[in-house]
Amino acid sequence: MICPACGSSNDRVLDSRASSDGFEIRRRRECGDCNYRFSTIERIEGLVPKVVKKDGVKQEYNETKILNSLMVACSKRPVTKEEMQAIVSNITDRVNNNPKREISSREIGEYIMEQLYKKDKVAYVRFASVYKDFTNPESFAEEVKKIAGNG
């Protein structure tokens, strides 16, 4: 591995840990030249699930996209980054434990809304407004009424 601090390829592995699902290994490394410590993650190629978008395009599942959408939905809300990362982890576990190697973006969106509904209703509505593509104020108001009646 190349050290992200100095560019040297002289490193050593300090610690290795398998993930809970057993499909990846996290390695803690130290550069032999500058002593910078960094982590790497190894995954088996071909095991990353594919996400089938609305238009039929397939992309590799990407946790960062989910975290970014959560950060937008939870902006200025009492949801910590750790809580958002826990949501991403829950969703990733569900995606990885799905026996199919392809999952629709609709299913992932439903998983996200399910998690946000439990955590913060305002963040849920924010995410739903983009995910459900509200085209008018009435559809937005209808969604708010649904959660107000259940909340």
- Note whether 78 and 30 are same-domain residues: no
- Note whether 91 and 129 are same-domain residues: yes
Q: How many domains does the chain have?
A: 2
- Note whether 59 and 90 are same-domain residues: yes
pLDDT at residue number 20? 75
pLDDT at residue number 99? 78
CA 4 – CA 31 distance, rounded (Å)? 9
pLDDT at residue number 151? 52
- Note whether 26 and 82 are same-domain residues: no
| Mean pLDDT split into 10-residue runs, the chain, 151 residues | 92 91 87 95 76 92 93 94 93 84 90 92 88 74 77 52
Half-sphere exposure of 27 (CA within 13 A, CB side): 12
- Note whether 56 and 85 are same-domain residues: yes
pLDDT at residue number 88? 93
- For residue 2, being part of any structural domain is answered with no
pTM score, two decimals?
0.63
Range of the domain at 93: 50-150
- Note whether 58 and 90 are same-domain residues: yes
